[in-house]
Amino acid sequence: MKNLAQLRSQFVAVLFACVFAIPAPAGTSASGKPTASAPAVKSVSRRRAPKVVNPAADDVASYDDPAIRQAAVDALGHYDGTVVAVDPNTGRILAMVNQKLAFSGGTIPCSTIKPAIAVAALEENVITGDTMLKVSRRKYMNLTEAMAHSNNEFFEELGRRMGFETVSRYAHMLGLGEAAGYNLPEEHAGTFPAAAPQRGGVARMSSFGEGIKMTPLQLASMASAVANGGTLYYLQYPRTDEERQNFAPRVKRQLDIAPLLAPIREGMLAAVLYGTGKASFDSEGDELALGKTGTCSDDKSHLGWFVSYADEAKPRITLVVLIRGHNRHVKGPAAAVVAGRIYRRLRAQNYFAGLPRRSDETGVTSGN
């Protein structure tokens, strides 16, 4: 019995020794307190609430047409972006939401460069409206379908066939690389490169504007020339009662592009009816819009562009929408949604009924 008791005492002693000899878990002391080498405890991740943006916060609203401005402000919502509305028959800026961004030095135009490339290719007889180009192994497209679906391969091929010098010449003719406005001291002109970009060359430049910085004002000016048949107006922004009463359009230059525009307009109409810009379509309206989306990224964020004008036959408004952000939903079709809201609001207010048609405009002044 004495030996048994001794054995039991020895077993208990060994057991206690083993228990206290077990090393504490990594990063803790024997007392259970964290040590300096303890790994950080992984916290439960919580999705950060998106930053609320008021794009119109710093604007001076008194310069704008109140109906268009309110429609644009409501349509843009909390997007980090801008809306520019222009009369395509005079170059008058009707509304500008987020004036700071609209006046800025611009960013990559994405696929909104495609109408300019189409003008160049048609004038240079690189294609006609019926030309079919191979865009994939078993697929061919003409200009209408390529514009509707914003096909990069089609426009890359146009760029390769024309070369940088030709693309550059037409881009400058359409107003890129220079200020779009007249007497707009806040405006920063976009830039156009002196040589084809290293990344993708003239092909990528022709498909989504690689190397170019385009401003919303430049895009509005160019689209207005497509809308009105070839008159590139200086954009003007009357800010006083006197300027508004004495307003007269100023022509920057007259472009001989009217015979080329039919297939380009068909492509922009197709984009709205069934292509990348279909979210802008107002099925209940009489004002049929034509448009072009653009989706890409710059070094800061994703970009979504949409440029359009209405009506198809007698255009009376040009809209440019640019949205920015890090969300994957920031893209051209989302910008088209914004434009569609504006068109529907203006239609509901019967806004277009009181506007003069193109034939009623008078008093054009030279911009020189």
pLDDT digits (tens, 9 = 90+) for 128-157: 999 999 999 999 999 999 999 999 999 999
What average pLDDT does this structure show over 241-245? 93
For residue 78, the model assigns a pLDDT of 95
Q: Identify the bridge partners of residue 141 per DSSP, sorted by sequence position.
A: 133
Per-residue pLDDT band at 99 (split at 50, 70, 90): very high
Angle (nearest 5°) at CA 90 between 187 and 231? 90
Residue 279: Cβ within 10 Å count: 19
Which residue, 248, 253, 250, 258, is CA-closest to 228?
Answer: 258
| Backbone phi, psi, residue 97, to 5° | -95, 135
Q: Phi, psi at residue 260, to the nearest 5°?
A: -95, -10
Q: What is the dihedral of CA 167, 168, 172, 175, to 10 degrees?
A: 60
**CA of 224: how far to CAs of 24, 142, 193, 198, 201, in Å?**
75, 24, 24, 31, 28
State the CATH architecture for 61-353: 3-Layer(aba) Sandwich (3.40)
Q: What does the domain layout of the chain look like in residue ranges?
A: 61-353
Mean pLDDT for 211-219 is: 98
Instruction: For 102-130, write each residue's pLDDT tens digit.
Output: 999 999 999 999 999 999 999 999 999 99
Cβ-contact 320, 219 below 8 angstroms: yes
Query: How much is the pLDDT for 239?
Result: 94
Residue 159: phi, psi to the nearest 5? -60, -45
Which tokens hold the place of 238?
């009357």
The answer on pLDDT for 40 being more than 50 is no
